Each structure stands twice: as structure tokens, then as C-alpha cells.
Amino acid sequence: MKFMTDYLEQAQQQALYREVTTLEPVDAVHVRSDSRVYLNLASNNYLGLTHCPIVQQAASHAALTYGTGSGGARLITGNHAYYTKLEHELAAFKQTEGTVVFSTGYMANIGAISGLATQADVIFSDELNHASLIDGCRLAKARIVVYRHCDISHLAELMNTTPCQGNRMIITDGVFSMDGDIAPLPDLVKLAEQYKAILIVDDAHATGVIGPGGRGTTAHFGLEGKVQVQLGTLSKALGSEGGFVAGSRILIDYLINRARSFIFTTALSPATVAASCAALTRLKAQPALVATLQANALFTRQCLTKAGFAISQGITPIIPIPVGSAKLALAMAAELKSQGLLLSAIRPPTVQPGTSRLRLAVSAAHDQAELADAVCKITAVAQRFDIL
């Protein structure tokens, strides 16, 4: 047991120790803990759809009709009717020939990458890609070449100098999960075409967030048909659970046959998949939700900039406030919590040492008065901790 206690003690000393806290959601953007209500600025519930009555009713109706669990893997007996509906509607939403739904975004990513890449292949991966993409690369037996964050000339140089017997693949987050910036997709598409590489884009934080109707990064840049593998999650803006891959029919059929995280796991429950269907229907019927989200993100970025923070402008709802040390990030998050704000202190190994940050995640369900008040509190705390 000593290696474990050693590890945990060291993590605690370095302010890297992690533990789960129990929260009771009050609505899409407020949570209760120890009988106190907090404004949630740490959730990926970008459109507030977790508490949309239509979505909630769809989930409870599905549980009452089909039962609580799917009872089996999708290729055995777990593929209930909501799956067919969801994959059909997701394909229409993404404007691709097909989609396949996995049990989580993490599983979609590791299954798709390890299913696609073989020993002869080379994967070019952005250094700030999400852990699930990194783990997918690790599971694949391909060679992995990491390029500097969003640095197209570095990527071009590496593609030029790295020999490859098999397929080349470029893998990137669409919207980066800890920085909130958008991948330079037009340039990545050009490079991919030049080297006949397969482009894989993870739109976990872009689905329901950017692009017309919230259709993601590919649609945002008008590059429909140019990105071979689009990954996404149903657990963030869509307020449910599950991950998906969107692309050609052949890609989908291939992954159904090859992705181990698709094959060897129990299908999602009817309630979960029905909630995703209803959320997607809601989003299609109410694209203004995306505009509200983007307006709230822009508003918050402007308030922070006015307060003196060095914040890049943009429309994504992920807003990092650079702090530096893990200890400081943790202390500031604790102080803000005591003032009723829930923000995440992002520390290594999620980000590089020395780049710890407070991460604000804005939702369409926030109201701007609450956001402005939160920025005031953050500003006062930042001044007290000497980072402003």
C-alpha cells in the first residue's frame, strides 16, 4: 500500500490531490451543497438542456416504457429503438452519411482512434488534445507525432519529415477543452488533403456550441464533407450522455465492426438515448439557444477584459483565467466557493505545470446579471491574490 499513500501524500503537498464532492443540482446553473446554493460556472451544460422539461419528460417516458437499463451490448440485444432514431437525427444534424453512438465521448474517441490506426500508420496530434484522444493514440499501435498547439507550420514540417508506410492521421480538438480556442480547421484540411491524411476532429465542446445551429467546428468553417471523422459527445451541450462518430457510411460500418469500446460494452439506457433525441430536437427547433450561449460567452469575456484580465475575445464558452501555480488556483477557487461561485481549478496533469488556471464555463442558462456579478467577485479575489 505504501506506493499509494506516498503518491497521495505527494499529490496533497503539491495541491494536485483530487476528490469528488457531492452536489445537488437545483436547476441547469445552480447547485446546492451543505444547504447553500452556488452559481455553477464549472459545468459543460452549455445550453441548460439537462433541465429542459421536454427532455426530462422524454427520459422518464422512455424509462417507463422500455425499462431502466438496456440489458446488453448493442450488437447483442441492447440496441433499442431510440438508438436508431438518435443516429438518424444526428446524421441529419451533422450532415453526414451516418453516425454511430458510443456509451461516452471518451469511449467514442478511444474506440475510433484505436480502431482506425494500425502499426504502419502515423498519427499527428495537437499537444493540447484532450486526454481521451491521447489515450486513443496510446491504444492504437501507430507512431504518434505531437505538434505544437495549433501550429500549422510545425505540423507541416513534421508531416514532411516523418516517413509513413500506412495512413497519416491528424487529430485535434475542435474547440480546445481547457483553452476555449478553435482549431485552425481550414489549414488542417489543406494539409490533410496535401498528404492524403485522415482528419479527425473532436467536437465535444463544439457540438451545440459553435457553427450554424450548433453543428460544430466543421460547419463553423463551412468545411462540410472535408473532415472524414467528426467526434462528438452528447454529455455536454446536449445535456445527456454518450459519444458519437459522424462520417461516411463506410466509416460507421467499419467502426461498428472494429471499435472495441463499441462492441464490448452495454448499450446506453433508453432514458439516456431518448434524452439525447429530445435535446437534439429541442436544439433544431430553437437554434437561438446557441446565439444566447455565444452572447453570454462574449459578454463574460468582455466583462473580464474590462476588469483587466488578459482574455482573448471569442464566442466559445470556455474561458480560462491564467493563474500559474496549482496551489494558487486551488486557493482562489476555494475563496470563490466561499462567495457562492463554483469554478474549476484546472491543474496538472490536465494542463502543463505552471499553467494552472481557473476555468469558467458559461451556459445559455446563465443570466447576464449573474455573470456580471460573478466577474466582480472574481476580480476582487484576483486582486487579493495578486494576479491582477
Which among 91-99, 105-113, 144-152, 308-316 is the span making contact with ligand PLP, rule CB under 6 A?
Answer: 105-113
235 CB-side CA count, 13 A: 17
Beta carbon of residue 323, minimum distance to ligand PLP (angstroms, whole number): 20
Beta carbon of residue 132, minimum distance to ligand PLP (angstroms, whole number): 4
When asked if residue 261 is in the footprint of ligand PLP (CB under 6 A), the reply is no
Dist CA 262 CA 251 (whole Å): 14
What angle separates helix 270-285 from helix 53-66, to the nearest 10 degrees? 150
Question: Catalytic: 205?
Answer: yes
Beta carbon of residue 131, minimum distance to ligand PLP (angstroms, whole number): 8
Site for ligand PLP in 152-181 (CB under 6 A): 173, 177
When asked if residue 233 is in the footprint of ligand PLP (CB under 6 A), the reply is yes
Task: Choose the catalytic residue: 30, 94, 205, 220.
Answer: 205
Dist CA 377 CA 330 (whole Å): 16
DSSP string for 213-235 = GG--HHHHTT-TTS-SEEEEESS
Pick the closer one to ligand PLP by CB: 105 or 270.
Answer: 105
Q: Pick one of 235, 240, 296, 300: the residue that binds ligand PLP (CB under 6 A).
A: 235
Are 384 and 336 in contact by the 8 Å Cβ rule? The answer is: no
When asked if residue 105 is in the footprint of ligand PLP (CB under 6 A), the reply is yes
Q: What pairs with residue 38 in β-bridges? A: 31
Total number of residues that touch ligand PLP (CB under 6 A): 14
Pick the closer one to ligand PLP by CB: 214 or 243.
Answer: 243
Pick the closer one to ligand PLP by CB: 121 or 202.
Answer: 202
Pick the closer one to ligand PLP by CB: 137 or 375.
Answer: 137
Site for ligand PLP in 108-137 (CB under 6 A): 109, 130, 132
Are 231 and 202 in contact by the 8 Å Cβ rule? The answer is: yes
Q: Pick one of 180, 216, 239, 243: the residue that binds ligand PLP (CB under 6 A).
A: 243
Beta strands in the chain (DSSP E): 24-25, 30-33, 36-40, 98-102, 122-126, 143-147, 168-173, 198-202, 229-233, 243-247, 318-324, 341-342, 344-346, 356-361
Pick the closer one to ligand PLP by CB: 135 or 335.
Answer: 135
Q: Pick one of 126, 143, 202, 274: the residue that binds ligand PLP (CB under 6 A).
A: 202
Beta carbon of residue 182, minimum distance to ligand PLP (angstroms, whole number): 12
Pick the closer one to ligand PLP by CB: 74 or 130.
Answer: 130
Task: Choose the catalytic residue: 177, 261, 356, 363.
Answer: 177
Are 114 and 263 in contact by the 8 Å Cβ rule? The answer is: no
Question: Catalytic: 177?
Answer: yes
Pick the closer one to ligand PLP by CB: 211 or 243.
Answer: 243
Site for ligand PLP in 293-352 (CB under 6 A): none
Beta carbon of residue 107, minimum distance to ligand PLP (angstroms, whole number): 7
CA distances from 371 to 37, 363, 368 (A): 15, 10, 5
Beta carbon of residue 144, minimum distance to ligand PLP (angstroms, whole number): 17
Beta strands in 138-295 (DSSP E): 143-147, 168-173, 198-202, 229-233, 243-247
Burial class, 4, CB count within 10 angstroms (exposed 0-12 / middle 13-18 / buried 19+): exposed
CA distances from 312 to 302, 316, 317, 331, 359 (A): 9, 10, 12, 24, 14
Which among 76-84, 104-112, 185-193, 337-345 is the span making contact with ligand PLP, rule CB under 6 A?
Answer: 104-112
Instruction: Look up residue 308 and give its three cell numbers.
Output: 483587466
Q: Which 3 state secondary structure label does DSSP give 348?
A: coil
Beta carbon of residue 25, minimum distance to ligand PLP (angstroms, whole number): 17
Chain-centroid distance, C-alpha 31 = 21
Instruction: Look up residue 2 and give its three cell numbers.
Output: 505504501
Interacting residue ranges for ligand PLP, rule: CB under 6 A? 104-106, 109, 130, 132, 173, 177, 202, 204-205, 233, 235, 243
Which residues are tagged catalytic?
177, 205, 236
